[in-house]
Amino acid sequence: MAASDETAVTPAATATGADGPASALVEGTLLQVTGLQAGYGSKQVVFDVSLNVGAGEIVGIVGHNGAGKTTTLNTIFGILRPRGGQVVYRGENIAGRTCHKNVLAGMTLVPSEQFVFTDLSVAENLQLGALWTPPSKRPELLESVYQIFPVIKDNLKMRAGQFSGGQQRMLSIGMALMADPKFMLFDEPSLGLAPAVTIRVFDTLRQLVNERGISVLILEQNMPQLLRVVDRVYVMRSGRIAGEETVDQLRAREHYWDIF
Amino acid sequence: MQLTVSYLDQILVLLVFTVSVNLVMGYAGVFNAAAGAFGAIGGYSLVWLTTNHGWAFIPAMVTGVAVTAVFGLLVGYAALRLQALWLLLLTLAVQLVLIGTLGGLTSLGGSTGLQTNNLNILGYQLVEPTQVLPVVAIGSVLVFLLCYRIGESPYGRVLRGIRDDETATRSLGKNTFSYKLIVFTLTAAMAGFGGALLSADTTTASPSLFGFDVSIQVIAMVIIGGTANMWGSIVGVTLVVLATPFFENVINLSTNTASLAQGLAYGLALVIVVFFRPQGIIPEGAVPWRWRRAATVPATLVTGDGTDPLAPAHERAAAPAPLVTTDRAPRPAAAGGGDNVLEVRGLTKSFGGNTAVNDLSFDLRRGKITALIGPNGAGKTTVFNLITGAIPADAGTVTLFGRDISGLRPDVITGLGMTRSFQDVRVFPSLTVLENIMLGIQDHPGDDMRNLFARPGQVRRAERAARDRAREWLRFIDMEPLARVRAGSLGFGQQKLVALARILATDSEVLLLDEPGSGIDHAWIDQMIAVVKQVSEGGRTVCIVEHNLEVVGRLADHVCFMELGRLTAEGGFAELTSDPRLTEAYFGSV
Amino acid sequence: MATAALPFTVANLEQQLSTGLVSGTGYALVAVGFGLIITVTGRFHIAYGATYALSAFIAGQTGLSWGMPFWASLVFGVLVAVVIAGLMESLVYWPLNRRLGAAALMTIFIASLGLSTAGSNLIALLWNGSGGSVNISGFSVSTVHFLDVFTTNLAITSFITGWVALLAVAAVIRYTKLGRMIRAVRVNQRLSLAIGINPRVVYLMVFALGTALGAVGAVFTAAESTATSDMGSTPILYAITVSFIAGGAAPLVVALVAVGVGLLESLSIFVFQPQWSQVVVFAALLIYVLAKVVSENLGARRTVKPVTPASTPAGAVEGASSLCS
């Protein structure tokens, strides 16, 4: 059940200011969420969530369907306004700030479903990802995306909807990278992907973090895949954080039934 | 004098249109842009048959109404299966084509229309406004009473349920299409009647008398006066009609300018109402002498003993009310089927290229709580949709109490003893908590429109019994103080309990609960678990779809494990969760 | 039925084609403009007819009162219409959307009905002194004769200007950053929020572009006869017809369908008397919707989804409006 360690990419040590791109790093915590509450209309879904993500860390959130993981992510990112609690990003209180501003501050969100613009071409999707990126940075970002995902480079004119599920997922990550992010939020990136594709995607993610010092927050239900890349994991149930475990603690477990 | 009476005539005639549009749109939620066109059929029939063909007044009017009814039936049959925007479009197209056709036919006077100058009912002349008055007064009072009776009755409650959430209403055993069709046809006929009265009043039948802008004006009067409130329609019509003489006599505008000002006024009023008082001047459920106060109680009411009714019951340390078992005769069909109340065999469903449910077979054992669990995309909610008839299966059979229910409609299946709840709850937000629960009650005589008029006493008695029954269920979920609260203002946990009480009120033996533990805090989860356990102990069969495994562990007697549309394991919770292959299936593999 | 209104000759055919193309271009402007608004924002903006009429009145009045030349009045009329439409969106539609979320569609339609009624009556009131109509001056009309067709320089100018405007808007949508943003919002509102698009700005731009197209058409239509306060009612109904038949297609496809409607209208004269031309168009709409009903019922039991409008406006995406504004 647990992934064999030899194939897992080893987590990088927390990047220091000297190694990574200067713009990506704030010493210590990148994101600090305290007592978050959120919901839709009369339905409160997140009752009390506190978590943090450090610079250059990959942090996971796991939990059953409906535990409030997506709602938490959306509230941090700015799609939803929180009903209570604090969200501090790079030292700034961003609770309730618009997604637009958060994207400008280096956050990107890759949703769990419908994560590309299917009716637009692959190239246009990338252009949209780079909407707020300074034009001078775009060529090098584009090159790096082509290198990581050659299938994108080979099919620029194609309608994104004609890509397979895995290819669309890769495109969605490409789009996120075009925004030159400091902090990436992923909502169930393995959903609907074949295991081999998921491995590749997650390995790429780990590589990016190691190279660029990006911080990542991933929501997942696929435990073994997640454990290949994360540093630590929060467990959510019924709108609250039920616990926090390191990768080693999780790998030592026999099962996860009591978490979900 | 004649002028004043002429305005009164106008009010009364437009009232006929307005209450009928209010019934179909305000109560039943069916948007009808063709009121003008239906009126045209009635009006043109009257004038054409009397003036051009020498018919007497009453036969001409009756024929006109009959023709409109037939027409309304045809349009309704086509339109009512459609979603809101397409329904709007179809009724709009009907309006435009009909009026355009009437205006194009030279035999019907073209764009000027037909004139008449000698309308009389068996010798009683209809020339002066004062002469027309008794006729339109009687007509409009009759239509008002008819619409009032339908709207403010158990039947009207079903209409309002359909308006708020048609799918949920269907799941409570009501054939929503037939309700909508009956009301649509009836109100079309009333519009035809109104059109005949309008033509009698104005002595003409012309395209402009029944154009799209008239349809819009009627809609404005409904909304401004009060959606789903007949008294409000009186207010709405009066205000709009009297705006013109107001502008003429009080503001001293010329006749022409006054009618333009009227249009400006009610156009603006429509926007203002939508913003500041969307329910209209006299809101749904209110009576005119108390129009300022909302008809329902806000949820911030505190109970007599000082506890907060919004908190889950166990925090209030109140003993849960005993399960309602008095005089509940189990539905006769429930005797069949033996130990397995529900048997599913070979159920299959594909969407596009994706097979959501693949040759699924399982049973629900009588009196047990069965849980359906599985990883994302396993097809669990689809199963509920398939066995309740909400979507058609590609293959397979479903047997309830020994009877094949494959291919039956959801409302029929509820009548046979199996009901479901929804993951997104779907209470009727504009109805009170008590009304929500009352809609669950089956075989209410008030659900048949004929009984409203032929057997009012029986309906009244049944309504009293239904209310008592609903109160019992309300006591069971410990929310009695909230009976008159609008369900839409409740918290999510409370709405879930109301929805549960609602399906309990159907007296169905088999209850399918879709994610009972989702969207609520752990205090509410405890409450929900306690209630579901009690329901099961009372003898009903429960099946839940659930992602929260703690809830499954605490509730389920029997667990079915689904993977990729198939049942791959079943047994006790502990048994399944100690199986390594299932663990890998649920939490993913490398 | 009536005998054909016009005897069919090649000359007449060419004449009717010419008429149909010109009027079709006018319908294309309204259809593309209205269609843009409904497919991107989801709003059934029936008050489009009011801004349509307003632009003609403003253009006429500026010519009359200030002696503005034709093209300047046209631009001025278009600008005023765009501003008013922008106000409708930001003061009425957006706040309602924010408050009601997914349930906003019907309410916004009702509000738009109110704005439409109030708007056309207000225009009639304001210009009551001049009999509720205004003429567009500044364009000296002369007849043009080519092949067997009699037309005017005004008609030709309106045809050319209309297509320039349509092509310009189509180009903006296809090739510019704004156009990509508009298409992104139309295709996947949730995702467009996630990449940091500000839906409020996109909606306003869409209202501006959409209204401007119709406004151009209105001025030319008024120039051919006169501006009346209800001149928007038929065009908006045609726009609705075309929008639903053409679905969410690209602007130029919608424009071509609209031209088709114009031709249908003008060529129907060979079969029906002139008073039936409009009915023929609405009958086409009715037949189309009925065909949809039949095809949906013959297929598996599915709910009928509207092809055109975005099913939930961006502001309704789970409370997004409260934030991404």
B412-439: average pLDDT: 95
Per-domain boundaries in chain C: 22-322
- SS3 per-residue string spanning A93-121: ECCCCCHHHHHHCCEEEECCCCCCCCCCE
The answer to whether A179 contacts C196, with C-beta atoms less than 8 Å apart, is yes
The answer to whether A64 contacts B547, with C-beta atoms less than 8 Å apart, is yes
The answer to whether A66 contacts B491, with C-beta atoms less than 8 Å apart, is no
Domains and CATH numbers, chain B: 2-211 (no CATH), 336-423+508-521+536-587 (3.40.50.300)
Q: Is residue A138 part of a domain?
A: no
The answer to whether B519 contacts A43, with C-beta atoms less than 8 Å apart, is yes
B587 CB within 8 Å of a chain A CB: yes
Closest CA in chain C for residue A173: C195
Closest CA in chain B for residue A45: B519
| Widest distance between CA atoms in chain A | 50
3-state secondary structure of B411: helix
What pTM was estimated for this model as a whole?
0.89
What is the per-residue pLDDT for C61?
Answer: 92
Residue B424 has a CB neighbour count (10 Å cut-off) of 16
Q: Does residue A34 carry a pLDDT above 80?
A: yes
> What amino acid occupies position C228?
T
Q: Does residue C319 carry a pLDDT above 80?
A: no
The answer to whether B583 contacts A42, with C-beta atoms less than 8 Å apart, is no
How many CB contacts within 8 angstroms connect chain A with chain B? 85
Q: Is residue A67 part of a domain?
A: yes
What is the per-residue pLDDT for C2?
Answer: 47
Q: Give the β-pairing of A215-220 and A58-63.
A: parallel
Q: Residues B126, B138: contact at Cβ < 8 Å?
A: no
Smallest CA-to-CA distance from B502 within B151, B161, B29, B28 is with B161
What is the per-residue pLDDT for C320?
Answer: 36
Total domain count, chain A: 1
The answer to whether C111 contacts B270, with C-beta atoms less than 8 Å apart, is yes
Q: Does residue B323 carry a pLDDT above 60?
A: no
Domain that holds residue A44: 27-105+217-260
Percent of chain B with pLDDT over 70: 91
pLDDT for B389-402, tens place per residue? 999 999 999 999 98
- With contacts defined as CB-CB under 8 Å, which chain A residues touch C187? 117-120
Backbone phi and psi for residue B543, each to the nearest 5 degrees, phi listed first: -130, 130
ipTM of the complex: 0.88
* A41, A74, A128 ranked by CB distance to C180: nearest: A128
- Distance set, CA C319 to CA A93, A94, A96, C38 (Å): 20, 17, 12, 20
Comparing B17-31, B325-339, B518-532, C38-52, the range with the smallest average pLDDT is B325-339
Q: Residues C112, C214: contact at Cβ < 8 Å?
A: no
The answer to whether B90 contacts C95, with C-beta atoms less than 8 Å apart, is no
| Interface-testing mutation among A44, A46, A74, A169, with chain C (most C C-beta atoms within 10 A) | A74
CA B115: distance to chain centroid? 41
Q: Is residue A141 part of a domain?
A: no
pLDDT for B112-145, tens place per residue? 889 887 788 887 888 888 888 999 999 999 999 9
**Residues pairing with B570 in the sheet:** B560
A199 CB within 8 Å of a chain B CB: yes
The answer to whether B590 contacts A195, with C-beta atoms less than 8 Å apart, is yes
The answer to whether A78 contacts C190, with C-beta atoms less than 8 Å apart, is no
pLDDT for C248-296, tens place per residue? 788 999 999 999 999 999 998 888 888 888 899 999 889 988 888 888 7
What is the per-residue pLDDT for C192?
Answer: 94
Distance CA B178, CA B175 (A): 6
The answer to whether B518 contacts A66, with C-beta atoms less than 8 Å apart, is yes
CA of B374, closest CA in chain A: separation in Å?
Answer: 11
Smallest CA-to-CA distance from C210 within C34, C31, C26 is with C34
Q: Is residue A73 part of a domain?
A: yes
pLDDT for A110-121, tens place per residue? 999 899 999 999
- Give the CATH number for residue A86: 3.40.50.300
Q: Does residue B318 carry a pLDDT above 60?
A: no
Residue B295 has a CB neighbour count (10 Å cut-off) of 17
B373-385: average pLDDT: 85
CA of C282, closest CA in chain B: separation in Å?
Answer: 6
* C95, C125, C286 ranked by CB distance to B93: nearest: C286
Q: Is residue A184 part of a domain?
A: no
Q: Which of the listed ranges A202-211, C140-149, C259-268 does the model predict with the highest average pLDDT?
A: C259-268
| Interface-testing mutation among C105, C238, C271, C286, with chain B (most B C-beta atoms within 10 A) | C286
Comparing B297-301, B423-427, B491-495, the range with the smallest average pLDDT is B297-301
First-last CA distance in chain B: 89
- With contacts defined as CB-CB under 8 Å, which chain B residues touch A258? 549
**Residues pairing with B363 in the sheet:** B343
- Distance set, CA B570 to CA B347, B374, B563 (Å): 17, 11, 12
Residue A143: exposure state from Cβ atoms within 10 A (0-12, 13-18, ≥19): exposed
Q: Does residue A18 carry a pLDDT above 70?
A: no
Backbone phi and psi for residue B80, each to the nearest 5 degrees, phi listed first: -75, -10
What is the per-residue pLDDT for A13?
Answer: 36
